[in-house]
A and B are shown apart, each in its own frame.
Chain A
Amino acid sequence: MCLAVPLKIIKIEKKFAVARVGSLKRQINIEMLDNLKVGDYCLVHAGFAIQKVDIKAAKEMQDILSQIPNARKPKK
């Protein structure tokens, strides 16, 4: 129910935008977000963009995880 999927904005028209994930394109309502630009990623829930994905924070998380010592290689 609270599922939200990251979609890439490809076109903006006032309160609405066309966003894409893979080959799926969908019109979404973007009035909850300011300053959304074409190329931004946003989380979409029930037809509404609810948050812009913070790419810098995502990269920081990736850095944190890359420093986790690998205990062992998983069995194949």
Chain B
Amino acid sequence: MLESLKNKHIIFGLKKIIADTCFSLGRIKIMHVCGTHEQAISRYGLRALLPENLEVISGPGCPVCCTPAFDIDNLVTLSLEKNVLITCFGDMLKVMGSRISLSQAKARGAKVKIVYSILDAIEFAREHSDIQVVHSAIGFETTAPTTAAALLNNCPTNFSILCSHRLIPPAMDALLCQKDNRIDGFLAPGHVSVIIGGKAYAPLTNKYNRPIVVSGFEPADIFYSIYLIAKQIKENQPKVEIEYRRAVEWQPQKKAVSMLKKTFDIENSFWRGLGEIANSGFVLKNKFKDFDALHKFNLKKQVQDSVSFKNCLCAEVLKGKIYPNQCPSFAKTCKPQHPLGPCMVSYEGSCAIFYTYRGNKD
């Protein structure tokens, strides 16, 4: 059924109507905030098909890349100094903290286990009641409900999480309120929007008069969404539209949002590269403090901006100021095998994706 979303004829048809729509317009810069969108754009070489006056740039769409060094430091401290076993998603392993990564901690004897789901981490904790297990709970609104659902069921007492879940709309707001942002529209992330609904972006369109289109992940999804943004700009009618209607509704996903509200409060949060963003972080409610590794192991909460790395322009990449290949270290001193910054580590990081598909014309 989804074959037409990859059909070459349809893609070239969309290419033509995008070009026609943009013909009389000035320069247009569209930002997406989703690593999976960047994967599709780079993999299918979609940038090469866009008209010269339209660019699509990546923003802070990779949760691993946005996780500040401070959180990695806490995980490293737990694993090396408190004899805790850390469970995490695979791409967290190589991201540098201010001193070392979890992978380097593992080489020094730390116990670190990669899991696919928080459920796997809980099952492991149940089977090993003699050790403390801390799960690195990262991700945006797509992943946060899975953490909530897990905690709302009975978790073993030797299990806790280091909560690093973040919200996407406040980050979009933070980027749009920068005067030099030059962002003319957003491709909104499809699976974050499954949870929060299209409605969540309405305050942003009202405040900044920018089109926001929730897009799916196939090439035709992305091209049709770009066409809808260009059409809104041409007609000067910015609004929220949902292209990814097979999965996203205007209203939020009720049960998931109810689980989020029962489990988390929302506070200011630090983002790597973007600094502190108001109301952009999920923190565990007080009633879950026994499952909060910060409380359980008396760890510090972040109170200042995270460190930056020498010769690494990840911060500029995350803000959408430059493309990964405009960083002087890209593919020279910074490669997936030896990453300088987080965007080259995660398979959803813009730099790693650009590196993987660097043979494709962009």
Contacts and interface: CB of A to CB of B under 8 A. Distances in A.
Give 8 closest A-B pairs by Cβ, nearest first.
Answer: A47-B117, A71-B16, A58-B246, A68-B13, A57-B245, A2-B142, A2-B191, A70-B13
| Candidate in A2, A47, A50, A57 with the most chain B CB atoms within 10 angstroms | A2
B119 interface: yes
Given A59-B1, A64-B224, A51 B143 contact: no
Nearest to A59: B1
Contacts of B195: 50
Nearest to A43: B247
Interface of B: 1-2, 4-5, 7-17, 34-36, 62-64, 89, 91, 116-120, 138-140, 142-143, 145-146, 149, 189-192, 194-195, 220, 224, 243, 245-248, 253, 255-256, 259, 346, 348
Given A3-B191, A32-B253, A53 B348 contact: no
Given A45-B191, A48-B145, A61-B243, 17 more contacts: A1-B35, A1-B91, A1-B142, A1-B346, A2-B142, A3-B348, A29-B149, A34-B255, A45-B142, A50-B195, A51-B248, A53-B246, A62-B1, A65-B10, A65-B224, A66-B10, A74-B12
A67 B182 CA distance: 33
Contacts of B2: 58
Nearest to B66: A1
A1 B222 CA distance: 18
Nearest to B37: A2
A33 to B, nearest CB: 7
Contacts, number: 135
Interface residues of A, number: 35
Contact of B255 (A33, A59, A64): A33
Contacts of A73: 9, 12
Contacts of B255: 31-34
A74 B16 CA distance: 12
B146 to A, nearest CB: 5
B1 A48 contact: no
Interface string A30-57: 0111100000000101111011011101
A48 B141 CA distance: 13
Contact of A2 (B7, B36, B116, B220): B36
Given A43-B247, A48-B145, A2 B8 contact: no
Nearest to B247: A51
Contacts of A33: 255
Contacts of A68: 10, 13-14, 17
B344 to A, nearest CB: 15
Nearest to A44: B117
B246 A47 contact: no
A30 B13 CA distance: 39
Nearest to B245: A57
B250 to A, nearest CB: 12
